[in-house]
Structure 1
Amino acid sequence: MFPNNGSAHNHSFGSNMSHSPTPAATPPPTTSFGLGDGSWELRIYVTDLQMDRVLRVKSDVHIGGVMLRLVEDLDIAIDWSDHALWWPDKNTWLTHTRSTLDQCGVTATAELEFTPMHKILRVQLPDLREMDFRVDFSVKTFNAVVSLCKQMGIRHPEELSFSKPVSAEDLKYNYAERQMKKVSMAKTINGQIPADTNSFVANKSHNSSNGSLERSSHHTPGSPSTPVGTLRHHNTSASSNGYNSSMNTSSGSNIYETVEAQEQLNNSLTNSPSRPPDSSKTKPPRPKTLLEKARMNVGWLDSSLSIMEQGVREGHTLLLRFKFYSFYDLNPIYDGARINLIYNQAKYAIINEEIDCTEEEMLMFAALQLQVNMQVLQPQHVSQTNTDDDIDRALNELQVSLEGGNQLTPNIPGSSDIMNVPELKGNLKFMKPRRFTLKSYKMYFFVCRDMRLSYYRSSDEADLLETIDLRGCEVTPDVVLATGRYGIRLEVPAKEQGMTEYMLRCNDEDQYARWMAAMRLASKGKSLADSSYQSEVRGIQAFLSLQQPARNPVQIPEHIDIHVEDFLAPRFVRKIKGKGQTRILEAHSNVKELGLVEAKMQFIRAWQALPEFGLTLFLVKYMGHKKEELLGVAFNRIMKMELNTGDHIKTLRYNTIKAWNVNWGTKNMMIQAEGDPLVFSCLTADCKVVHEFIGGYIFLSMRTKDANQTLNEELFHKLTGGWA
């Protein structure tokens, strides 16, 4: 899909032969130039052979010519086509083979490395398994992820990215504090700052002893010690819980090049073991506060730089995660592995309390997880009508787009009657919270019409009390099924800075579903006339029905173990105590008929229905303000939030943003929208991370249903790179 960076990617410098003689001592510099003619000596370290070579060159020699002369000088008949020059001191690849040494800034003081571009990377998947893949360390991280997803058979790779592992220790400090501490330690230990252009978190990996390609004059090829530049082999035996951590491979061959290996990989990615790995090193940290949740996002790599330029070396571990929570066209027919990985990322986000939910919701997620574990052990029946279902779905979507919705009764939400404006009416309990004042709910008559909410003292609509403009509002459910509470927390932009809060209470589940659907549409800038209203209502009703406890729990087979801590977040394990297994079995009765993929999809849909779904937090400080605040970035909006409570201060929709850019000198970011621009510095991550999230979501919103669409790499980097 994407072109190579230079001819070094596809030019073979030697025949592909297995003969690899033991290299001799470093010979004197080879030269075709004479002394005094402006030539100089260039030292190059060959990582595969662990030897130095010295070439006599001139500044007008091209990079490709240097590599060709180096290969001829080595005179070893192996395939060098995947090798390129790496400049450790400058932390950059020299892959533009037509550029001269002078153009690249290479002088006689430079020491280069001739090393493979494809190296073995240990990747931790969203289900916490770790697998080894051959990844191109010389291309941009975005391209490396695209190629990796192609190996894994995952569509829409633009939704994923690499992140460095974040430990519990990383959650104790802000980004700037850790950077200062890291630089201080590096100067103390090594006397110099490590080359790591985008070092959000320290380079740490339990698979590698150091963070660089160290040279060793004591090792020779064939020695028992693992040579630099080759794969550090890991234990390949399957563990007791069914995890196979890696596959034997060499750095010169593709791990999954055979049909059998590729099929094994696809099957492994489609279904994950029910229990996570036992190793504590694989378990993500559990954030306890909003500030720690903001610090969790420090590890994302820069999509515009190669992973080698960001301090990652062969054998290191990176996390592959869904970075952007905008999942496009999830299709059970084609996306078995993708659905499974999204399901697992959602599961661990809930169990690790990265996203909050109520007790009823927690039990519902546990029940769906149990159903998935049970269905994995059962043969799944493949539907014979998949093609027909796709055609029917396409026809239904076409009908909705042409007709504007279902043919419903006029003046009813979702109606296609253009002569009447749909509206929603009813008696609701209402309260406008005030600080230091005890107030109770009062019953009023409400009318929702054309993204405006009005309430009156009585149903005759004669005494209007207030009209609320719902544009830019934030809606949060306040539901407790055990007590019959069906509440809606509504926050709307105020004329002054901040948001005005309103609390609504519905009488029953049906009324709640209708009003909640209307508020959610209004928060997206849609009125009741939108064709998605009825489906929004049904989705809310289905979500609530899954949380209703059943009276006749299903008997679980003996070979299914329910470790409550694997299903519930720690605070619910403590709260429910010894009743956890019973409560999970009661909730499971609601989902016992679901198939494997259907249970995973239901889990994902329920996750998406949570109020905090897809919200990535950052701690920021606005220019001219001393107080620190949270910045929440979601798939459709940006929010200013209170640090301690998480209350919304201001919401900006992407369709109102005119520009966003970064001052790379001061590391300040500016977002220009309606009103005064927001200028801030990010304290828990590099400002490039925030910039990339905003540009990435805008890029994802531009995707269409064109079956022949191709990934527009240039547009992605234009929106996320921060450079003109």
Structure 2
Amino acid sequence: MAAKEVEWDLAVEVLHMGARKVLRVRSDWSVGHVLNTLSSKLLETNISHYGLWWPEQRLWLRKHQQSLHGYGVMSDAKIQLLNLNHRFYVELPDKSVYKCVMNFSRPVFEVVMELCRRMSIRRPEELSLLKFREDCAVGGRKKKKKVEKGVGSEDGTYHPDVNYGYQPEGVQFHRQNDSADLFAKEYTKNLKDLAYINSNWLESNRSLYEQDVFDEDHLYLRFKYHAFLDLNPQLDDFRIRQLFEQAKWSVLCEEVDCTEEEAMTFAALQFQVTLAYSQNEQQKKENFAAIASDIDQQLMELKDSLGQTDTDMQAPAEETFGYMRLTKGGFTLRGPKRYWFMLQGVTLCEYKTSDDSNIIDKYNLKGAVSEADLDPAKNKYAITLQLESGDDIRVLCDNADEYVKWMASFKIAGRGEIITESKLEREKASVNAFIAMQVGKNDTNGATPGAANPELQPNLLVSQRFIKKYKSKVKDLSRKIVEAHASFLNLSLIDAQMQYIRNWMVLLDFGISYFVVHFTRPKREALLGIAFNRMVAIDINTFDQIKVWRYAGMEQWKINWKSKEMRVIHEEGDFGFTCLSCDLRIVHEFIGGNVFLYLRDDPYAPLDLKVFQQLTLDKPTAHSGWGEEQSAREFVH
């Protein structure tokens, strides 16, 4: 005969209504049954976006099929009905900020997978989330203020192209100024400090809410495990971009140690990434301007055929006027003479001065070809106009801004079009892009490529150590970067990023996550480094390596959750430790996660979430406090 199920009154706090409902429940009721009963009590037909939260146990009752008895809910339990979906902000390695709404009852691993899906980042198992406290922010920085809608970066500028043209849905951008002062504050100064930063990683198998992540909080998405499978430039543009940014900051902020020669190589590659990006943007602007011009021309032809005009459809731009120096015809011994010019429609009017009302000459620009004759390095900004009548005139502008204004206006007038604000802005963008290309050519073809380039700022390309070393010899630092850059002049944007990542991955300290631990035998405080293929014991004072344990020789590991002790059985000697810098669960997850990534070899195999959870999730299974033994032999061998 089946045992009689226990009945009791279950109190549920409905926080969004400020109410408290008492339900008569039975121990065999499922969570779904409780929610349905509560819905009828609240007279709400749909509470699918709400869930039951047990504050005392810090537990979501997520499984709707599981009974109250299965969760251990009894009559003294205090349950809350909470909204599952909340907004938070995720900062990526390139400092762009992603605003999103997620289910806060989902495990962090599922949240990361969803974020990566939205941003087209493959291999989500390589990444995870951090939440920094006020006293331990990213790289020693204080926690950022939340990004409000419509707010740009802290320097008052908005960067819609911060991701090189790719903007995931729902992205709100926010970016810090790159500066030497920021580099000085960005990260900590030694391995022990880095170990304490690792305490901020969220546990993958627990939900956001369980780990005190609340509405409007600011999180950081980073590559947690440094085993990158199948980096493919054709598929992973955004993934490579973020990985490059994380690598760049780890070098600039001295998370990894590198020689001076390596530092100059990294600086040169970073500079090439900047140049390649600028060139890509210039090409995009030129292509856009050309397409827009073609569309305008087709619209003009269509309006002409319909007998319509453009004046009612677009606001005309203000008249273009100003002083320029003029020469006519071919070779002449007379130098250019300064006149006042005004462009009225397609007619260029010439005056002696701005106060003179008598027109000296008129030039019909319809059908005219505008040829650039400029050398920005010598402040030479000239335009040759080949008129449809066969005559040529040459005008010289005082500066780049005047040149851009006149050249853009001449091009529109040459097509016989009315100069509107939108057309003028598009043409100006195209002319500016052309000038920038000329500046780039002058800088890269000279005797010292890049040396005169205003974009080459050494204090943004090397760490504080080298900035201080070359404080009084900035030119020497620039020269070293330029010399290193000569090897990478022809690299495309993605190739330069990939080369940077490859160089980063061969550094001696690459990919090691540090923790302060206390070893039980012999008893001593030390640093434990966890990498994708090994664990390393490091002297906490000298930072010298004491012992290395490779995963290939690891047989099993387990945790005593009462004493917070981890034991590792290894063919080169067993060892145990307690963690002083963070919760032992984080260390356990780092080991299990790295073992999981160490096992990957087939880039086409689907992600085995079950194995990942088996390696990273551990709970006490006996009164002794010891969790299940994780057999490394079962996975590694």
Q: Does 1:638 align with 2:541?
A: no
Q: CA RMSD in A?
A: 3.5
Q: 2:615 aligns to what?
A: 719
The structure 2 residue matched to 1:151, chosen from 115, 118, 121, is 118
Q: Which amino acid aligns with 1:265?
A: P
Counterpart of 2:31 (choices 63, 83, 88) is 63
**Aligned residue type for 2:60:** W
Matches within 5 A, 1:221-300: 234-239=148-153, 240-243=156-159, 264-265=167-168, 275-276=177-178, 285-300=186-201
Structure (1/2) with the larger helix percentage: 2
Q: Following the alignment from structure 1 to structure 2, what is the Cα–Cα distance between the partners of residues 165 and 319?
A: 8
Q: What CA distance in whole angstroms lies between the structure 1 residues aligned with 2:577 and 2:532?
A: 20
Match of 1:561 in 2: 455
Q: Give the counterpart letter for 2:18 in structure 1.
A: M
Instruction: Map 1:25-174 to 2 at 5 A.
Output: 39-40=8-9, 42-47=11-16, 50-60=17-27, 61-76=29-44, 79-165=46-132
Deviation (angstroms), 1:617: 1.5
Matched-pair contact (CA < 8 Å) for 2:8–2:75: no
Choose from 599, 602, 606 the match for 2:496: 599
- With over 3 angstroms needed to count, the CA separation of the structure-2 counterparts of 1:42 and 1:346, relative to structure 1, is same
Compute the displacement of 1:275 (Å). Answer: 5.0
Residue 562 to residue 168, structure 1, CA distance change in 2 (3 Å): farther
Query: Distance in 2 between the 1:76 and 1:621 partners?
Result: 54
Match of 1:710 among 577, 594, 606: 606
Residue 664, structure 1, aligned to residue 546, structure 2: no
How much has 1:336 moved relative to structure 2?
0.6
Provide the rounded CA distance (Å) in 1 between the counterparts of 2:554 and 2:524.
24
CA drift of 1:625 comes to: 3.4
Take 1:121 and 1:364, find their aligned partners in 2: how far apart are those partners? 38
Match of 1:360? 261
1:302 to 203, 206, 209: 203
String of CA shifts for 1:349-408, please: whole Å, max 9, x gaps: 1111111111221121111111111211223899xxxxxxxxxxxxxxxxxxxxxxxxxx
- The residue aligned with 1:573 is 467
AA partner of residue 466 (structure 2): F
* Distance 1:264-1:206 versus aligned 2 partners, 3 A rule: closer
Whether the 8 Å contact between 2:86 and 2:103 is mirrored in structure 1 is yes
Percent of pairs with identical residues: 32
Contact 1:236 1:245 in 2 (8 A): no
- Secondary structure of the corresponding residue to residue 577 of structure 1: coil
Letter in 2 for 1:622: F
Aligned to 2:86, the other structure's residue is in SS state strand
Distance 1:164 1:245 in 2: 26
Change (3 A) 1:692 1:325: same
Which residue is 2:229 aligned to? 328
Change (3 A) 1:553 1:73: farther
SS class of match (2:487): coil
TM-score (normalizing by structure 1): 0.56
Matching residue's letter, 1:295: Y
Instruction: Please tell me whether the aligned partners of residues 130 and 200 of structure 2 are also in contact (alpha carbons under 8 angstroms).
Output: yes
- Say which is worse superposed, 597-606 or 50-59, in terms of deviation: 50-59
**Structure 2 match to 1:319:** 220
Taking the aligned partners of 1:598 and 1:648, their CA distance within structure 2 comes to: 34
* Partner secondary structure for residue 168 of structure 2: helix
CA 1:132–1:148: 2 relative to 1, 3 Å: same
Question: In the superposition, relative to structure 1, how do residues 323 and 172 fare at CA in structure 2: closer, same or farther (>3 Å)?
Answer: closer
Give the equivalent residue in structure 1 for 2:305. none
Unpaired segments ≥5 residues, structure 2: 1-5, 285-444, 620-627, 629-637
Q: Distance in 2 between matches of 1:40 and 1:267?
A: 43
Change (3 A) 1:597 1:267: farther
Aligned match of 1:694? 591
Q: CA 1:551/1:690 → structure 2, altered by over 3 Å: closer, same or farther?
A: farther
1:59–1:100 CA contact under 8 A, matched in 2 = no
- How far is 1:39 from its partner? 4.4
Distance 1:687 1:88 in 2: 23
Deviation at 1:335? 0.3
Deviations 1:562-589 (A, max 9, x none): 4433221111111011414443333322
Give the residue type in structure 2 aligned to 1:71: S
- Between stretches 358-367 and 344-353, larger displacement belongs to 358-367
User: How far apart, CA to CA, are the structure 2 residues paired with 1:718 and 1:298?
Assistant: 22
> 1:125 Cα deviation (Å)?
0.9
Name the amino acid aligned to 2:150: T
Secondary structure of 2:470's counterpart equals: helix
- Distance, in Å, in 2 between the alignment partners of 1:677 and 1:584 is 48
Question: Per-residue deviation at 1:722?
Answer: 2.9
Relative distance call for 1:714 and 1:622 in structure 2 (3 A) is: same
Aligned residues: 445
Go from structure 1 to structure 2 and tell me whether the alpha carbon gap of 1:245 and 1:124 turns closer, same or farther (over 3 Å shift). Answer: farther
- 1:406-555 aligned at under 5 Å gives the runs 552-555=447-450
**Alignment check: 8 A CA contact 1:346 1:604 kept:** yes
Relative to 1, partners in 2 of residues 1:112 and 1:234: Cα closer, same or farther, differing over 3 Å?
A: farther
Note closer, same or farther for the CA distance 1:378–1:652 as it changes in structure 2 (3 Å cut): same
1:274 to partner: Cα distance = 9.7
2:84–2:104 contact (8 Å) kept in structure 1: yes
Q: Find the aligned partners of 1:44 and 1:63 in 2 and give their Cα distance.
A: 15
Residue matched to 1:396? none
Decide whether aligned partners of structure 1 residues 136 and 244 sit closer, same or farther in structure 2, where only a CA change above 3 A counts. farther
- The aligned counterpart of 2:486 is 589
Distance 1:263 1:83 in 2: 34
Q: What's the counterpart of residue 22 of structure 1?
A: none
Gaps of 5+ in 1: 1-36, 174-203, 209-232, 247-261, 383-549
Offset of 1:552 from its aligned partner?
4.5
| AA partner of residue 111 (structure 2) | A
Q: Structure 1 residues 83, 275: closer, same or farther in 2, change over 3 A? A: same
Take 1:293 and 1:630, find their aligned partners in 2: how far apart are those partners?
A: 10
Q: Which amino acid aligns with 2:582?
A: A
CA contact (8 A) 2:268 2:484 kept: yes
Please tell me whether residue 619 in structure 1 is matched to residue 516 in structure 2.
yes
Tell me if the contact between 1:127 and 1:272 (Cα under 8 Å) persists in the aligned partners.
no
Shift of 1:641: 1.8
The AA in structure 1 aligned to 2:610 is E
Q: Distance in 1 between matches of 2:44 and 2:185?
A: 45
- Could you tell which deviates more after superposition, 111-120 or 610-619? 111-120
Q: 1:63 to 1:169 in 2, by over 3 A?
A: closer
Deviation at 1:94, TM superposition (A): 0.9
CA contact (8 A) 1:138 1:308 kept: yes
Provide the C-alpha distance between the structure 1 equivalents of 2:24 and 2:176, rounded to a whole number of angstroms.
Answer: 59
What is the rounded CA distance, in whole Å, between the counterparts of 1:553 and 1:372 in structure 2?
A: 19
AA paired with 2:236? D
How far is the alpha carbon of 1:51 from its aligned partner?
2.5
Partner secondary structure for residue 507 of structure 2: coil
The whole-number CA distance in structure 2 between the counterparts of 1:327 and 1:704 is 11
Aligned counterparts of 1:364 and 1:706: Cα–Cα separation in 2: 30
Aligned residue number for residue 274 of structure 2? 373
TM-score, normalised to structure 2's length? 0.63
